[in-house]
Structure 1
Amino acid sequence: MVRVPVNPPTHGWSLTVPPRLWRELTDHLFRDGGEHGAVILAGLADGPRGPRLLAREVLLARDGVDYTIGTAGHSALTATFVRDAVIRARNERLVYLAVHRHLGTDAVGFSRVDLASHERGYPALRQITGLPVGGIVLADAAAAGDLWLPDGGRAALAELVVPGGNLVRLRPRSARGGQAAAIHDRQARLFGDLGQETLGRMRVAIAGLGGVGSILVETLARLGVGALVLIDDETVEDTNLPRLVAADPSDVNAAKVELAIRNARRANPDIDLTVLAERIETPRAREELTRCDWIFLAADSHAARFWVNRAVNQFHIPATQIGVKVRVGADGTIGQIHAVARLLIPAGGCLWCNELIDPTELAIDMHPDRERDAARYVPGVPAPSVIALNGLVAMEAVDQFMLAGTGLHHDPDDTTWTLYLPRDRTRIPQVPRRDPACPWCSEAGQLGRGQH
């Protein structure tokens, strides 16, 4: 097995391919030593470091039918296959990307024959679609891209991202090691200098800054994450104090975002913060979610689940949903405690597929506060909440993010969810269901649509 190098995020154009589509593509292209071809149809979106292409569908070229020996003596996609793919790209407002492989491991580039083919064909294809078109070439642990832009310009692909159990970033050549800051020396001994640099370049959102969210802010800032997007519209109540990191009585009635700012800057004075003291369903908050490398969902409303689920699948941003529920009987008897960390991977089975977003509750959540309360027949009753239980799943979620971002998970295909039953001392892995016709995580829905 080829070890994929750790490459910190970089600026420029990127292509994100969900793990399921990546396996489909690489199983086709790398199945033997021969030449094979495919086309990716991709959405388009803004990203934290530049424009992002979002793989929505992979069209596999059949050997000898769609991918044959061309006039220059090398294999190429047939004119009919290209025509059909380009027409689909034009009609669905998607980006056309032809893909093939070269031999090699951690470095790759286009041949002169490849580039001559691009110059002959891509200007016409670009004119047909009105969107970028291009070519991608892969090696075992490297990727390069040649993009032809609608304004007549041309750009190289900075990186190809596969957001799975390990967050893989492929480039034409692997990054070279730097030097981690002395303050992070002990961490860099685990992550490596490039791993620590990776965390320092990532932009991470935390939606919900209560008991779980405050632990996330503190931990991510101390890990050296470079930028946080903090989203919460609530203020601190006195009953919140036992669960908010570093809170004291003077913080009552303060905005929760203010505590988060204070804690983040105390832990990491150089951290970049984007602060939104508003609900997650506001246009600005929804937009900021789509411009991150990872999202932590620590708010338990159905609206919050809906908008994060949308960002994961429509914009290919991995996320972790975190929650703790303590069941209490009508007579006050404490029942089972559920603590869960759900790793949400694009195209991998989502919150909607798994019936974790209730359409009725979602409709109620989208109304103003007074109308939400009036719409519910039973008024909300505060549920038990304890900092230690919050910490159990908050740390699980951060560990998943930390190990994925630095490429340290042993099994990059393992994206199971984790359910804890603390009273039984039980840890249960859960494999999420995937609906092939899901309106969000399937090609039949909004997968990879981006901003179009």
Structure 2
Amino acid sequence: MVALDITVLEQHMDLLRPLLPARDAPEAAAYMLLGASDIATDPWTGQPRLRLISHRVVGIPAADRISASPVHVTWSTTGFMRLLGDATIAGKVPAIVHTHPGSHAFFSEQDDRNERELARTASLKGVRGLVSIVLGGDGSICARMWTDANGYTLADAVQIVGGRFLRHASNGDDFDAPHLDRQRRLFGDRFNETLRSLRVCVVGCGGTGSPVALLLARLGVGRISLIDNDTLAESNLNRVHGSRRHDVGMLKVDILKREIEAMGVDCHVVTSQAWVKSEEVRDTLKSADFVFGCTDDNSGRIFVNRLAYFYGIPLIDVGLRMVAASETHGNDLNGRVTTVLPGRPCLICSGVVNAARANEEDLERSRPDEFQKRKAEAYVMGGGDPAPAVVTFTTEMATTAVNEMIAALTGFHGNDGMVPNRVRRWHARDERFTAHGSREGCPVCNADGSRGAGDVVPFLDAVS
């Protein structure tokens, strides 16, 4: 059986919340279209998984509503047939959402009977399946997907993803972790349980990625994926956590896996010696609940930037810029953490990445001879001297990045959760929270087509 989980983007949940005005209100309903993320092999279980992501909310017109009470809701099938047609054209999965205002979320016998007939119709129309989501008046959520009129799969979890990350699991496992008792005392039992359920991907395992990975394991994250194709150089010893001199020449991902396993904290670590844009890591990225961008190249950042919008996976991107003092100016020491997700500006609109430099990096990887030729002719910038790096600064920004994930899970610094963009200027002894808007017409963060689209051809709607 294929495991199933469902992501509802916060901006779509905001459209659904008015369906639950009060506990004694009549039941209400809406439709949705969901993007599909087919994961052939979950890297931690080795099994296939399906993740569905909210793509669009479709209201049910008042004219289609027949009757409603606190224990039932009925509506005309006219809009449902239109939904099936839209799903077929768009290649999306149709969903019905209804409420249980006075109780928790569950599937009643009446739901079983009604949905079975709707699923039969959906099957005859040739759509992939029919999803049903129930919103409880107590804030609970449950979901399932009918593959035909005779069978359905319950979602293991439904997560609401925005500045906050709220996970509703259908069957949480018993989890007793004495070593996490101190953080339980601060954030409660559910904090540790949610961390245990998370799949987190760290892209880049150097000066920021290595402390991020080790901190995630110490926190109690249950599954971590490490992606990096570099080996440890002697010059990395000043900032790659867990590394030792005899590790020079060893893969960075293997060093971190060794160190995490040596902790004995029951964290399942998988590694990929690959560039983030390689096809071999797509399932790993699509399986993640959070992605930490700790790579120093523009091309990789643009790639995971697009992933955040198409799959509704929050990206926490870390960057540093350090300039040594000269005769004309002092040190210029800057650290940045940017959180990227649907509803917020992308890294390009925020001015974090350079698209022209990203093209040069792709050229250097795919056609190195042509890159060197253009560099000699001054058509590309090329790589200069290695950038300065000091372990205290890289580690501080790694900690800041992990704290943003904690903010998403707990809301400890406000109900909006993660801060969109935080810049720390050590030389100026200040910290700034800069605001950026999405560029008009941006095809990534200002386009309805990419938000929760899931799998499309070509991947991420990007042509190499």
CA RMSD in angstroms, aligned pairs only: 2.8
What SS does structure 1 have at the residue aligned with 2:102? coil
* Aligned equivalents of 1:337, 1:262: Cα separation in 2: 32
Name the CA shift for 1:286/1:367 in 2 (closer, same or farther; >3 Å).
Answer: farther
Show the 5 A alignment for 1:178-193: 178=174, 180-193=176-189
Counting only pairs closer than 5 Å after superposition, residues 294-443 of structure 1 correspond to structure 2 as 294-328=290-324, 333-369=329-365, 370-371=368-369, 372=371, 374-375=373-374, 376-405=380-409, 408=412, 410-412=414-416, 415-435=419-439, 437-443=441-447
Secondary structure, aligned partner of 2:338: strand
Cα distance change, pair 230–132 in 1 and its aligned pair in 2 (3 A): same
| Contact 2:8 2:160 (8 Å CA) reproduced | yes
Q: d(CA) in 1 for partners of 2:89 and 2:326? A: 56
Aligned twin of 1:239: 235
CA distance in 2, matches of 1:357, 1:76: 50
Deviation, 1:399, is: 1.2
Query: 1:41 — aligned with what?
Result: 33
Change (3 A) 1:409 1:51: farther
* Structure 1 residues 130 and 145: alpha-carbon distance in aligned structure 2, compared to 1, 3 A threshold: same
User: What's the CA shift string for 1:229-263, capped at 9, x where partnerless?
Assistant: 11111222222211112333323232222322222
Query: What is the alpha-carbon distance in structure 2 between the residues aligned to residue 273 and residue 158 of structure 1?
Result: 21
CA contact under 8 A between 2:119 and 2:149: conserved in structure 1? no
Per the alignment, do residues 86 and 235 of structure 1 end up closer, same or farther by CA in structure 2, a change over 3 Å counting?
same
SS class of match (1:123) = helix
Residue 20 of structure 2 is aligned to residue 30 of structure 1: yes
8 Å contact from structure 1 (residues 180, 196) kept in 2: no
Secondary structure of the equivalent of 2:423?
strand
Q: Name the SS for the 2:14 alignment partner.
A: helix
SS at match of 1:170: strand
Separation (CA, whole Å) in 2 of partners of 1:334 and 1:253: 35
Counterpart CA distance in 2 for 1:36 and 1:435 is 36
Q: Given that residues 407 and 418 in structure 2 are in contact (C-alpha distance below 8 angstroms), is that contact kept between their aligned partners in structure 1?
A: no
1:132 and 2:91 aligned: no
Alignment CA distance shift 1:345-1:108 (3 Å): same
Measured in 2, the distance between the counterparts of 1:89 and 1:67 equals 21
Please give the TM-score of this superposition, normalised by the length of structure 2: 0.85
> Helix, strand or coil: the match of 2:357?
helix
Structure 2 gap ranges (5+):
375-379, 457-464
Question: 1:130, 1:150 within 8 Å by CA — same for their partners in 2?
Answer: no
**8 Å contact 2:312–2:452 — kept in the other structure?**
yes
Report matched runs for 1:211-230 at 5 Å.
Answer: 211-230=207-226
Higher alpha-carbon deviation: 75-84 or 336-345: 75-84
**For residue 4 of structure 2, what is the aligned residue in structure 1?**
13
Deviations 1:138-188 (A, max 9, x none): 02411122421159531223332112233112356x859x55222222233
Q: Write the distance in 2 (CA, Å) between the matches of 1:188 and 1:139.
A: 26
Q: Indicate the residue corresponding to 1:7 in structure 2.
A: none
Q: Say if 1:142 and 1:171, in contact at 8 Å, map to a contact too.
A: no
Structure 1 pair 384/374, CA: closer, same or farther in 2 (3 Å)? farther
On the 8 A contact 1:37/1:67 being kept in 2, the answer is no
Distance 1:185 1:413, change over 3 A: closer
- Per-residue deviation, 1:82: 1.4
Pairwise CA distance, 1:97: 0.4
- Distance in 1 (alpha carbons) for counterparts of 2:8 and 2:142: 14
Report the CA distance between 1:124 and its aligned residue. Answer: 0.9
Structure 2 residue aligned with 1:450: 454
What secondary structure is seen at the aligned counterpart in 2 of 1:423?
Answer: coil
Kept in 2: contact 1:236–1:255 (CA 8 A): yes
Q: Alpha-carbon deviations, 1:256-300, whole Å to 9, x = none?
A: 223222222223463222111121111112331111111110002
- Equivalent residue for 2:462? none
Is residue 168–residue 407 contact of structure 1 (8 Å, CA) maintained in 2?
A: no
Residues 322 and 397, structure 1, Cα contact 8 Å, conserved in 2 = yes
Counterpart contact for 1:43–1:55, Cα < 8 Å: yes
Aligned to 2:78: 80
Query: 1:213-240 deviations in whole A, cap 9, x for unaligned?
Result: 1111221122222221111112222222
1:411 deviates by 1.2
Give the secondary-structure state (helix, strand or coil) at the position aligned to 1:149: strand
Label 1:230 to 1:194 Cα distance change in 2 as closer, same or farther (>3 A).
same
Which of 105, 108, 111 is the matching residue for 2:105? 108
Report percent identity of matched pairs. 24
User: How many residue pairs get matched?
Assistant: 435
The 1:247–1:374 alpha-carbon spacing in structure 2 relative to 1, beyond 3 Å, is farther
Q: Is the alpha carbon distance of 1:191 and 1:276 closer, same or farther for their aligned partners in structure 2, counting shifts above 3 Å?
A: same
